[in-house]
Structure 1
Amino acid sequence: MMEQKLREINGGRTLLMNAGAFFCVVAMLGIANLICRFVLHTDVVFLMPWLLAATGLFFFLPALMLWLMTGKPSGS
């Protein structure tokens, strides 16, 4: 049951795909931070560590748990 939920959360992504998606989301967060700072004149730097941690957990925790349970990061 738990393994099936982890597979759904991971979406069949490999570890390399998770790393690429993480990099893309981090780049988008950086662009959003720049837009907030220079266009909206709002400082959201205090949110960045929390958002980066949540993004890392979303992409890497299910893959790590699947890797420990099945021996493969994608769970297949």
Structure 2
Amino acid sequence: MRSIIEHIRQINAERTPVMNLCACLCVVVMLGLANLICHYVLHTDMSFIMPWMLAATALYFFIPALVLWIATGNPSGK
């Protein structure tokens, strides 16, 4: 169990919930800009994959913090 917590702590990289939120928002903005470039410049439709990418982004940033919060009592895992 301890090795799993250590691995999750490495994934979270000691980010606080506010840092996770800001990083998630930055990635969502970059995904939106990439979608606009694909739509207007490359004339491709990426709308089928965008919900999956947004969900994966949210899961990557918030699930490790939630697991650390439940396991250690601290969302950054310190």
Q: TM-score range by the shorter chain?
A: over 0.9
Q: What residue in structure 1 maps to residue 15 of structure 2?
A: 13
Gaps of 5+ in 1: none
RMSD value, Cα: 0.4
Q: Which runs of structure 1 show a deviation greater than 6 angstroms over 4 or more consecutive aligned residues?
A: none
Task: Report how many residues are paired.
Answer: 76
TM-score, length of structure 1 as denominator length: 0.99
Gaps of 5+ in 2: none
Q: What residue in structure 2 maps to residue 50 of structure 1?
A: 52
Q: What residue in structure 2 maps to residue 63 of structure 1?
A: 65
Q: What residue in structure 2 maps to residue 31 of structure 1?
A: 33
% identical equivalent positions: 59
- In 2, the alpha carbon distance for the partners of 1:54 and 1:12 equals 20
Q: Deviations over 1:44-76 (max 9, x none)?
A: 011111000100110000000000001110000
